[in-house]
Chain A
Amino acid sequence: MLAKCQKTFYVGFRAGQALPEKVKIVEVGPRDGLQNEKTIVPTETKIHLIDMLSASGLPVIEATSFVSPKWVPQMADQVEVMKGIGRIPGVSYPVLTPNLKGFQAAVKAGASEVAIFGAASELFSKKNINCSVDESLQRFNDVMKAAKEAGVPVRGYVSCVVGCPYEGKVAPEKVAYVAKRLYSMGCYEISLGDTIGVGTPGSMIEMLEAVSKEVPISALAVHCHDTYGQALANILVALQMGIGVVDSSVAGLGGCPYAQGASGNVATEDVVYMLHGLGIQTGVDLSKLMDAGAFICRTLNRKSNSKVAQAVCKL
């Protein structure tokens, strides 16, 4: 009975227990979202989207990615985007930098925060960036060193935290190991990504318990995909464990490259709706956010993946 209880311990969370008063939303639509869209989006459109998102009150907006345009053509206009956006004071515009070269290009283009991407799955790391997990962390050492010298904060991402399209289940201890390495290297925050959206509150809590033994909760974020419709439930349990940073994508931009036609990123509108319904402050104006979502969906000629946007438009 004790063993069963330990296994189901997580369901002992009381629904009414204290949640964070404020949650920081990290908007990844312009980067993670658009990166997975088939249509190449014009630079001005990207800039306008980011400006609309800035106006909605989002505190962090991932603007672009300094990977080679050979690999990610959508992000080929990285420099123009960085130079073109209207930066609001107090808002961060981090960019992805997979290596030192990318970091240097980013800083030259005006980036004042960067992000690096690790994986909790060896197979995913090899297939995605052609090296092992340890090798990738080694590469990041150069970026970390340069960032420290330049006084540029670095955010770390860990992908496949509750499942991998190749390996299947991922051990929570492995996630904790990678998260700890990134944190010890100097990342100020670690975003834990359910890359294929297979997680449920069960696997989420198991993973977060393991990671929070190695990295302080205040330095953790969750990046949930909604491929199986579990994102909001997973975010809720993360909040119940004290996590106060949530990644999401306006209009739920960015499908899942591993499940054709399936949804990917959780929609920022739906996250904000839930958080506001819980009395949690985000600083975000939901109607302005929905305007930004409507704008990008019109441009991409597609329906929003946000249920809030779909519902509000039709009432």
Chain B
Amino acid sequence: MGNVPTTVKHCLSYEQLIQDYPWLRRWLLLEEKEIVPTGVKIQLIDMLSGAGLPVIEATSFVSSKWVPQMADHSDVLRGIQRAPHVQYPVLTPNLQGFQDAVAAGATEVAVFGSASETFSKKNINCSIDESMLRFEEVINTARERQIPVRGYVSCALGCPHEGHIEPSKVAEVAKRLYEMGCYEISLGDTIGVGTPGSMFKMLQSVMKEVPTSALAVHCHDTYGQALPNILTALQMGVCVVDSAVAGLGGCPYAQGSSGNVSTEDVLYMLHGMDIETGVNIAKVIEAGDFICNALRRETNSKVARAKGRTL
């Protein structure tokens, strides 16, 4: 089982990290086909705030031409009840989006890079380098306004077009975002193909370039691997995890497959390991039930499905 003193030290430092950073991150991505009414989105976010989640990604300031679901971004941001000590970051792909976000009251933003050139070109119509130039504009402007910026790296464990992605490439992109000024880098397994093996190798590489305390994992559950992948990340000292209530958001690359890992299932695992999150799982389940009713669909969370049905 390894060298006992190393294990104990690791345990102590791990525990300290959990104490110092008892945050659980959440990322809400509405990739649902139906356009969700603004009132429903606002109610969902308010319920999630009430559950104790410390970060709730509220909306996205991309052009509504590309993402019609987020067309009501300003109304959502203005309509939500902001709980104290909760952050409501929004996506801002470029300077225009950033300015609109700030005008609507955003106090934290996020930018989205990719570890795959092909994915970058197909998704945001430019190379990785070109996207970094765009983000630099956003980050520099954000710095002047003292607005923190979170960086995402997609395709961290595989790309729907390129297949395998070299861990060193993920590390390179993560490093660039971090050095440009992102306070945290969320590493995304966009198509959910990762396993604890590839997660470990990728994190090992990234951790050489970015401090572990600035890393988060964003695992998709398309192949059912999200929880063991998150567990691996936790064991390596990562203590920020992205997830989506009810596992909302399918995988656009595998029709009908699941995408985001469910917040409820992540919480169940973390609480079962005595890790503090500050989140009330019952209230998250309620929020999940609410949005699933509104969308007239079943939850993707196994915990939500099982709860209340045991003898």
Instruction: List chain A positions with a Cβ less than 8 A from chain B.
Output: 1, 4-5, 7-17, 165-166, 196-197, 199-203, 226-230, 232-233, 235-237, 241-242, 256, 258-263, 267, 270, 273-274, 276-279, 306-308, 310-311, 314-315
Contact = CB atoms under 8 A, between A and B. Distances in A.
B10 A274 contact: no
Contacts of A226: 302
Interface stretch (B37-45, B116-124, B135-143, B222-230): B222-230
A258 B11 contact: no
Contacts of B251: 311
A196 B195 contact: no
A166 B257 CA distance: 34
Given A273-B225, A307-B222, A5 B12 contact: yes
Contact of A165 (B268, B269, B310): B310
A241 B1 CA distance: 7
B69 interface: no
B254 A259 contact: no
A274 B195 contact: yes
Given A227-B306, A274-B225, A314-B254, A11 B2 contact: no
Contacts of B271: 200
B256 interface: yes
Contact of B11 (A12, A261, A274): A12
Contacts of A258: 310-311
B79 interface: no
B204 A260 contact: no
Contact of A261 (B233, B274, B309): B309
Range of interface residues on B (Cβ < 8 Å) = 35 or more
B8 A12 contact: yes
Interface in B289-311: 301-303, 305-306, 309-311
Most buried by B among A14, A165, A227, A276: A14
A278 B306 contact: no
Contacts, number: 171
A279 B231 CA distance: 18
B272 interface: yes
B146 interface: no
A14 B10 CA distance: 8
A270 B223 contact: yes
Contacts of B310: 165, 196, 258-259
B195 A278 contact: yes
B15 interface: yes
A16 B227 contact: no
B225 A17 contact: no
B7 A279 contact: no
5 contacts: A17-B2, A229-B227, A236-B196, A273-B223, A311-B257
Given A202-B273, A311-B254, A5 B311 contact: no
Contacts of A16: 200, 204
Contacts of A1: 12
Given A11-B11, A274-B196, A310-B256, A229 B265 contact: yes
Nearest first, the 7 closest Cβ-Cβ pairs linking A and B are A200-B272, A277-B195, A12-B11, A307-B224, A229-B302, A15-B235, A202-B273
A14 B196 contact: no
Contacts of B14: 8, 11-12
Contacts of B234: 11
B1 to A, nearest CB: 7
Contacts of A307: 221-224, 257-258
B183 interface: no
B197 interface: yes
Given A5-B11, A9-B7, 13 more contacts: A8-B273, A11-B235, A201-B273, A259-B309, A261-B309, A273-B195, A274-B224, A279-B197, A307-B221, A308-B223, A308-B224, A310-B254, A311-B222
A7 B262 CA distance: 26
B11 A9 contact: yes
Contacts of A9: 7-8, 11
